Structure 1
Amino acid sequence: MQDHLPQSVRVERRPVDEAESRRANGRDWDRYADEYQATHGDFLGDAGFVWGPEGQTEADLRILGPVAGKDVLEVGSGAGQCSRWVRAQGGRAFGLDLSHRQLQHSRRLDENTGVHVPSVHATATALPFADDSFDVVFCSFGALQFVADIDTALDETVRVLRPGGRFAFSITHPTRWMFPDDPGVGGLTASQSYWDRTPYVEIDDASGVVAYVEHHRTLGDWVRLLTGRGLMLTDLVEPEWPTGHDRVWGGWSRTRGLLTPGTAIFVAERP
């Protein structure tokens, strides 16, 4: 969950491949990690599991089911808050993230809380684990929106997921792609096509280098991506904006959240 825009960048919409996406987003999260944790750390909790800016937790929604005694992988784990919560519930959670700086924050929180999350510096498109290693794979606003080669990322997820295992992930609700990323009333008027899948790209003005990339898939795209790999879609959760929740996070706000969904959580199982 980024709250962009950094200074001195220009925005483009154009194709970006996996290598360029990975370079840009890895550098961007390394740059942004300190600010992100300082701004949102209290909301996330050192050992908390929040599924999105609406603030609903895994304890509220029970997306993963019982995790005690299970092997669990968090893809795009950041500082490991969600995995740390899983470990506190008796699960054997492991983290994976593209950002070295985010993993340094994870190590810091390990020491602060006494709950250690073994984590690796890697990408969702090449998971460094054996086949059938995990009972649960999840991603809370993590890697998937930043991956160009989503087919490979999902193939990797299925490969490491055991038969009967569960895969769950939250992303910006795909319908938000139509609207400006504005938490005020300006974010309530559609300005582009929902079906335009051209990536959102930020270019550093000084260097001309791609600084950040986000990829869009429609709800139908995600259904086909999951079911095409033999996964059984069991739920699609669209959290409503909670009463009394006034926190603004980037383009998420009460103004928008009362009218249109901001988060989609997909839940699937490997037969």
Structure 2
Amino acid sequence: MSSVSSRANRGWWDGNADDYQAEHGGFLRDSGFVWCPEGVDEADAHLLGEVRGRRVLEIGCGAAQCARWLVSQGAEVAAFDLSYRQLLHARRIDLGTGLRVPVLQADAESLPFAAGSFDLACSAYGALPFAADPLAVFREVRRVLRPGGRFVFSVSHPVRWAFPDDPGPRGLTSDRPYFDRSPYVERDEHGAVTYAEHHRTMGDWVNLLVESGLTVTGLLEPEWPEGHERVWGGWSPLRGRHLPGTAIFSCSRS
């Protein structure tokens, strides 16, 4: 499933990058590190700790908004994404801001970096929801981190899988088992997979991290903030008051 998911999601994001950046670019900011639709901002949350002078890898960077903010804070950053079209948006923003981020096209399950290359790794909804083999991703992250390095990533909160992806009242009633790990798949008229998103329970995420050799050091389940009225797909103030929408894992490499 890994190659099928990678191929499908590369094509989907290449085809939808323009619309995604047009819809969400203002919220993400050209140089800003927003962890999730709830609006958790790294400038306030400091989940990565001190970044100045650190070598940082952003996994699934999209248009590299997070990586660009890290550069502005004095970090030495490399970033990659599966989608070439997303990386073209990164170049567009580089030209507009004067903050250049080194980016490349790559798959998170096979990182083109040497062992021990980075002090920190991060991913804000990048790559992991779409990876058919998250254990391979975690093992690669561990490989490229130096001993004592840290990895922080955000994904959709696993409990959301049991509910329709609807920002309205329908999204408050479970319609599928939380323990059903069947991926969400879209297909074209010929039956070929055009999009794939994978579900893991909270226990699955923790166990995969442990199996990879990473140590879980923290878990943040952001509450929906007062006054935040923005709807992003299935994320909304209504649902956010009842259900967690995001899980942010902090990990370390021994």
TM range (shorter): over 0.9
Bigger RCO of structures 1 and 2 (CA < 8 A, at least 6 apart): 1
Asked if 1:137 is matched to 2:121, the reply is yes
- TM-superposed CA distance for 1:166, in Å, is 0.4
2:7 corresponds in structure 1 to: 23
1:104-253 superposed matches below 5 A: 104-205=88-189, 207-253=190-236
2:238 corresponds in structure 1 to: 255
Q: Is the partner of 1:233 in helix, strand or coil?
A: strand
1:36 corresponds in structure 2 to: 20
- TM-superposed CA distance for 1:121, in Å, is 0.5
Q: Determine the C-alpha separation between the residues in 2 that align with 1:230 and 1:99.
A: 28
Q: Which digits, 9 at most, give the CA deviation of each residue in 1:93-115, with x for residues without a partner?
A: 11110000000000111111111
- TM-superposed CA distance for 1:208, in Å, is 2.6
1:53 corresponds in structure 2 to: 37
Q: Determine the C-alpha separation between the residues in 2 that align with 1:211 and 1:247.
A: 28
Q: Determine the C-alpha separation between the residues in 1 that align with 2:65 and 2:102.
A: 12
Matched to 2:26, the amino acid is: D
Give the ranges of 4+ consecutive aligned residues of structure 1 lying more than 4 Å apart after TM superposition: none
Q: Is the partner of 1:67 in helix, strand or coil?
A: coil
- TM-superposed CA distance for 1:50, in Å, is 0.3
2:55 corresponds in structure 1 to: 71
Q: Determine the C-alpha separation between the residues in 1 that align with 2:137 and 2:38.
A: 26
Q: Determine the C-alpha separation between the residues in 1 that align with 2:169 and 2:45.
A: 29
Q: Determine the C-alpha separation between the residues in 1 that align with 2:210 and 2:43.
A: 27
Q: Which digits, 9 at most, give the CA deviation of each residue in 1:8-59, with x for residues without a partner?
A: xxxxxxxxx0011011100000000000001111100000000000111101
Q: Which digits, 9 at most, give the CA deviation of each residue in 1:225-264, with x for residues without a partner?
A: 1122222211100111011001000000001001110000
Q: Determine the C-alpha separation between the residues in 2 that align with 1:242 and 1:187.
A: 19
Matched to 1:78, the amino acid is: G
Asked if 1:99 is matched to 2:83, the reply is yes
- TM-superposed CA distance for 1:153, in Å, is 1.2
Q: Determine the C-alpha separation between the residues in 2 that align with 1:150 and 1:169.
A: 12
Aligned length: 254
Q: Which digits, 9 at most, give the CA deviation of each residue in 1:169-202, with x for residues without a partner?
A: 0000000000000000000001111111111101
Matched to 2:125, the amino acid is: F
Which of 215, 240, 247 is residue 264 of structure 1 equivalent to?
247
Matched to 2:156, the amino acid is: T
Provide TM-score, normalisation by structure 1: 0.92
Matched to 1:231, the amino acid is: L
